Structure 1
Amino acid sequence: MRTTPKLKLAAVAALTALLAPAAFAQASNVQVYGRVDLGLRKVTSEKLAVEPGSGNRLGFKGVEDLGSGLSAFFHMEHRFNADTGASQDPFWTDVSVVGLRGGFGEVKLGRQASPIDMATGGGYEVYDGDTVGASFSRAGAGETKWANSVMYTTPALGPVSLAVGSSLKESTGAEANSYGAALTYLAGPIKASVALQQNHDKSDSVGFGLKYSGTGWRIYGTAARTKDIGGDDGAKQTDLQLSGGFDVGTGELRALFNHSKLDDVKTRKFSVGYFYPLSKRTFLYTDVARQKTDDQKSRNGIDFGMRHDF
């Protein structure tokens, strides 16, 4: 059978179409991950309910080696309510960024954690913001997610790195652009961060976080304050959080204290819980908590749940 140039061209095109996805997969390291976390929860004055214990999620992240020490990366994470199947808004509510990384450090653009969240976020709390036992406020009313943002992080300077960035107000109706910086120290058992940030309403936030890991135990703490909430001469909020995790049996015993003061109104929370691993990715947990705000009745909560990561 005689092969014409057109047939040869068609064969090459078909082969290219078949091999292109494989070539792309080799060039880009893409990871798919997620979590489903549900349990029974009962809170004062509320009915017994099936509730998410943490942020149920589906995420994608990847890196492409561009050569000469330069790489491109992306990270997107969707959050949803596993009890109903409903999506959270925005769809990529936790993170949606693209960036470049190299010897100069890292630059990323999109929706991402703010500097105040870098210093007071879930990594500085034993519950990581999850279950009925988690703190109700750590960032002192500072913005924890930045949309329309750009962030630059220096390469590690010994144990220290610095992140600086801004979230543009664009056409959102915000009063001003938000900007700030977070300095992080990481060496051995100690991780600590401090952050300064101006929010979109021109309020000013400062935050600090600390984690210290020992043999069989971990201690976490955060402190944050925001003044002029809502504009000049606005409200002031101060948050404090102290928590710890202790190896007991094959699981972790957790305890937390959270204190928040909004102007002259104080709220306190105490909680204790136990996380039991069935495997490296599957956990059973239970927590009890008590929260009290000045001149209001106490709110008590209890949960029993299961978490699976993939």
Structure 2
Amino acid sequence: MAALAVAGVASAQSSVTLFGVVDASISGYSNSSRDLKPTVLNNNFGAPTYTNRGSVKVSRTALANSGYNTSRLGFRGTEDLGGGLAASFWLEAPISNDDGATGVSTFSRRSTASLSGGFGEIRLGRDYTPTFWNDNVFDPFGNNGVGSNLINTANGYNVTTGGAKDTGGFGGNQNYSRASNSIGYFLPPNLGGFYGQVMYAFHENDKYSGGQFTPADSATSKSRAGRYIGGRIGYANGPLDVAMAYGNSTVGDQFYAGTTDSVKTFNLGASYDFGPAKLFGELSRAKNSRDYAITPITGARPDVDLTGYMIGVTVPVGAGLIRASYSAVKYDRNLPFDYFNPANNLDPKANKLAIGYVHNLSKRTALYATVARVSNKNGAALTVGGPGFYKVTDRVFTPKTSTGYDFGIRHAF
């Protein structure tokens, strides 16, 4: 009888919630490239003739999703275990409501089980990385739609493919926004405004002892690729919120070559709510480097540095909210000076201006509009979304500008 009574109390103190967002937009993208080589006519100086090919634009109009908030469907639940302890789960799936092709077939947004109490929270599964939180929280556009800041774009996608959004990430970093197979710890919320978290994600690769039995095949000789370790510490009190984070993601390694590739990320973000306006800012630096067991005398691969900053503002206007941001990034390839190809000495860089308006019809439903423009220089190929630039790899057309818009509706439940 006592056991049944305890079970009844536990059942009464448990809860399961179904939640989600359905966000649909009409979105347009336009990416322009230009041939920067001058026309060379027939001449007597031995210079090869060349006809400038002008410019080319790749554009697309689409019924898209997630222009304001990411479309999703989730289930979360909590059970009070007594004594201040609680067990929880969170399963969240991305959905593509524009075509219905993606539903609850994967919980790739978040899938965690956790135990919390006065000590804080221990969380197991797939979750946001500490370093991604600053990119998300301190962006007026929340990393969604054409307005998402360039720090997010450059870190989250492999832009060497011409700006197309493949998920290779900067330096091949698959752990930029989320990490699977992770253990996370979060500080308790009663620390006078201080908050923080640490995370370790297992690579789950095979390890051979002794090491000479490791297969020579490049695909199976990896013993650390996929590992992530990072942390975030912040302070939020009244109108002020400031946080810094650091993470190290192992993106590749070769046992017999004795190399380990990693992307190390540091960022600092802050916001301050003045009432009539809320200001946002972020500084970020990511380094893609290769560590050698024995450093070669020549031929070592240089590091690639990605630095960026963002400033933004939101202004409430009645039932609406004006959003704006300016962001910029620069790549440093750390290459030796090239006398014969001066263009190789220039660092690729880009800047972006975005502005938007959100009109809240209710607490759950909103209409929104966003426009944005990216300007690329020195071979950078960042876009607002949609298609990539035309034939970046043939080195004839240089990526220049990318413009886009979102007009949509968001409903949360």
Q: Distance in 2 between matches of 1:51 and 1:22?
A: 46
2:409 maps to which of 301, 306, 309: 306
Cα deviation code 1:119-159 (max 9, x no counterpart):
32x22111111222221433844622111000112224322
User: Aligned partners of 2:205 and 2:105: how far apart in 1?
Assistant: 17
CA shift, 1:287, in A, is: 1.1
TM-score where L is the length of structure 2: 0.66
Larger radius of gyration: 2
Aligned pair 1:78/2:93, yes or no?
yes
Give the match for residue 145 of structure 1: 178
- Secondary structure of the equivalent of 1:298? strand
SS at match of 1:117: helix
- Cα deviation for residue 161 of structure 1 reads 2.3
Does residue 260 (structure 1) correspond to residue 363 (structure 2)? The answer is: no
Matching residue's letter, 1:186? A
Instruction: Tell me the equivalent position of 1:65.
Output: 80
Following superposition, the deviation at residue 89 of structure 1 comes to: 9.8
Q: Tell me how far apart the structure 2 counterparts of residues 98 and 137 of structure 1 sit (CA, whole Å).
A: 30
- Structure 1: unaligned runs, 5 residues or longer: 1-15
Q: Which runs of 5+ in 2 are unaligned?
A: 31-57, 156-169, 207-221, 252-261, 292-300, 333-346, 379-398
Q: In structure 1, what is the equivalent of residue 313 of structure 2?
A: 244
- What SS does the corresponding residue of 1:269 show, helix, strand or coil? strand
Residue 29 of structure 1, aligned match among 4, 11, 15: 15
Deviations 1:189-229 (A, max 9, x none): 11111111111222211111112112132111122111125
- Whether the 8 Å contact between 1:270 and 1:289 is mirrored in structure 2 is yes
Higher strand proportion: 1
Q: Which moved more, 1:269-278 or 1:238-247?
A: 238-247
Contact 1:203–1:230 (Cα < 8 Å) also in 2: no
Residues 89-111 of structure 1: CA distance to partner in whole angstroms, max 9, x if unpaired? 98111111111101111100000
Q: How many residues align?
A: 292
State the shift of 1:24 in Å: 7.0
**C-alpha contact (below 8 Å) 1:251/1:274 kept by paired residues:** yes
Partner of 1:4: none
Structure 2 counterpart of 1:48:
61
CA distance in 2, matches of 1:229, 1:239: 18
Contact 2:10 2:80 in 1 (8 A): no
Question: 1:69–1:276: structure 2 CA closer, same or farther, 3 Å change rule?
Answer: same
TM-score, normalising length: structure 1: 0.86
* 1:225-248 per-position Cα deviation (integer Å, ceiling 9, x unaligned): 111256673311112111111012
2:164 matched residue in structure 1: none
**Stretch moving more, 167-176 or 192-201:** 167-176
What RMSD over aligned residues (CA atoms) do the two structures have, in Å? 2.5
